[in-house]
Amino acid sequence: MINNPSANPAKRLDWDELHRRLEAARVSLNREMPPDEEKRILKARAATLAKDSLDGETTEGNLEILEFLLAYERYGIEMSFVRETCPLRDLTPLPCTPPFVLGLINVRGEIVSVIDLKKFFDLPEKGLTDLNKVVIVHDDATTFGILADEIIGVGMVSGDAIQPSLPTLTGIRDEYLKGITGERTIILDGNRILTDRRLIVNDEE
């Protein structure tokens, strides 16, 4: 095969080209962006973002929600019920609890129970990973965490865009849902979830 260079000319290596490409890669790898350029890019980006948020601020009656994913469906909950979000770490399962109670987590010294809404909505299980997040909701009386597959972020929804939930839905679904936006984000009713007695396990037992 050495003595037969014409056997496969398509695979013949152009070493000069290869060297050139290597050199270019090395140069690009070692290139450092100049500080002015970096600052300029960041400023331009901040300006763009600030302009968007200022537009949403003008309308009254808008609902500020936290959007997250549950089994590829977008759900939202009103910001007023959200205390914070945190990654799902060190989950301690609780024995002798209903299946929707995943367990307990420690958030900066505070023990918070985590429930899984997918059990209520008959959504397919996706399994728990380190990437799962917990949205901690609270009101005056209770505080617990809702498992989310991914946190999308904070968003504004105008009150007009929220449509009432479908009449075909019954039971707990109908109770927990507040509406659905045009972008198919399901808005949860935080007040009802927090005040639902069925979620309070220790009272029953």
Partner 1 sequence: MIMNMRIRARLLLSFVIVLVLLVGVGGYSLNRMSHLADLTTDLYEHPFTVRKSIRDAYLDLMKMNRSLNRMVTSPDNGTISVDLQTVNESEKNFMKNMGFVKERFLGKQSEVDDVIKAYEEWKPLRDRVIALVVANQKGKAKELLTGIDAKLFATLDKEAGDILAFADNKANEFFKGAQNTARKSLILVSLVIVAAAGIVVLVAVTLTRSIIRPLDTAMGVAARVADGDLTVTVPPSRGRDEMHLLLQTFGRMVENLRRQTMEIHEGVNILAASAGEILASTTQVASSAAETASAVNETTATVEEVKQTTQLAGQKSRNVAETAQRALQVSQGGRKSVEDSVEGMNRIREQMATIAESIVSLSEQSHSIGEIIATVNDLAEQSNLLAVNASIEAAKAGEHGKGFAVVAHEVKSLADQSKQATAQVRALLNDIQKATNAAVMATEQGSKAVEAGEKQAMQAGESIRLLTESIAESANAAAQITATNQQQMIGMDQVALAMENISEASTLSVTGTKQAEISAQNLHELGQKLKRLVEHFKL
Alpha-carbon gap, residue 155 to 158, rounded angstroms: 10
Q: Which of residues 6-45 bind partner 1 (CB under 8 A)?
A: 45
161 phi and psi, to 5 degrees?
Answer: -75, -15
| Spatial distance between the Cα atoms of 36 and 34, rounded to a whole number of angstroms | 6
Shortest approach of partner 1 to residue 157 CB, angstroms? 13
Site string for partner 1, 151-190 (x = CB under 8 A): x-xx------------------------------------
Q: Which amino acid, 157? A: V
Among 18, 21, 25, 53, interactor with partner 1 by CB under 8 A: 53
52: helix, coil or strand? helix
In this complex, which beta carbon is closest to partner 1, that of residue 83 or of residue 126? 83
Residue 182 φ/ψ, nearest 5 degrees = -65, -25
Least Å distance between CB 8 and partner 1?
Answer: 12
* Per-position x/- string for 116-155, each x denoting binding to partner 1 as judged by CB under 8 A, each - no binding: ---------------x-x-----------------x-xx-
Q: Which residues make Cβ contacts (< 8 Å) with residue 119, sequence separation at least 6?
A: 99, 100
Backbone angles phi, psi at 82, to 5 degrees: -90, 125
* Chain contacts with partner 1 (rule: CB under 8 A): 1-3, 45-46, 49-50, 53, 57, 64, 66, 79-80, 82-87, 131, 133, 151, 153-154
